[in-house]
Structures are given as structure tokens and as C-alpha cells.
Amino acid sequence: MTLLQTHPRPAGADSVHRTVADAMDAAGPQVWDDMTVEVALSVMVAARTGHLVVCDEDGRCTALVTRARLTDVRNGSAYTDRVRLRDVAADDGPFASPTAMVAEAEEAMRNRHLGALPVVDAHGNALGVLARSRFSGRSN
């Protein structure tokens, strides 16, 4: 798991120096990695969300999949109704620590062209999701 680390926050830090925990949204739907792509897309539609947090059999977050990614997989020539999330989800992050600075997470998301980043605790449990839209309007 690639976890974004943080540096200690100065005592007088203002809101510009927010942590990921301050800016994240609820994790939303969490699904098992053995779920099929078709079922995952149905869950997204029902939950009115554009992403799902994917967990392994121990409940640890392994990935975040988007509707766009799953739609691309479903429309691909190699797709069958047996394709599972574990087959298409990019394991091993990146993930953000809730104590990481938003600026660090923003940089990682920009560099990797991610629209959302799962926030996990030290044990890999999903705590939330940091959506790029939360800070994309901010000037650099």
C-alpha cells in the first residue's frame, strides 16, 4: 500500500494547511474485490456515486474504482460477465493518511491524474475519500 505521509503541523497552522481528515468526504459504498464489474456498476447507479472503495476479504481498502474505469472495462473486447473488481482495480494505492496535508494529497492526485483518493488508517481501513473537486477550483 502506498500511503502518503505527512510532516508535523505547526501549532498556528491556518485553514490553508488543512489535513486530509479536514477535507475528506465519507468513504461511501465499500464493496468486496470479488464483486463483478456489472454488479459494481449497478451499485454505483443505486448509490448515485461515481466511485467505489474496494476492500479485500479482511476489510482493508485495496483500491478505488470509478464508473468511467468500469465502463471502459465492460466495453472492452476482453470483457466477460466473470470479470471481478480485483481483476481491474489498481491495487496498492495511492492512499492518503488522514494526517497528510491536503496540498500533499492534491499533488499526488494531480501527478497521477486521479479524481479521488481513498483515505485509510494505519491498518488499511477506509476512513473516507478525498475528491479532487474539493480543491480543483483553488488557484495554484
Query: Any idea what the CATH number is for the domain that residue 123 is in?
Result: 3.10.580.10
Q: What is the CA 1 to chain-centroid distance, rounded? A: 12
pLDDT in tens, 1-20: 444 444 444 444 444 578 99
pLDDT band at 36 (very low <50, low <70, confident <90, very high): very high
pLDDT of residue 135: 57
Residues 51-107 pLDDT 10s: 999 999 999 999 999 999 999 999 999 999 999 999 998 655 689 999 999 998 998
- Per-residue pLDDT, 17: 78
CB-based contacts of 63: which residues, under 8 Å, 6+ apart? 33, 53, 54, 85, 89, 90, 91, 118
% the chain with pLDDT above 70: 80
Domain span including residue 84? 18-134
Cα separation, 63 vs 127, whole angstroms: 13
Query: Residue written as cell 474504482?
Result: 65
Tally of structural domains, the chain:
1
Three-state secondary-structure class, residue 63: strand
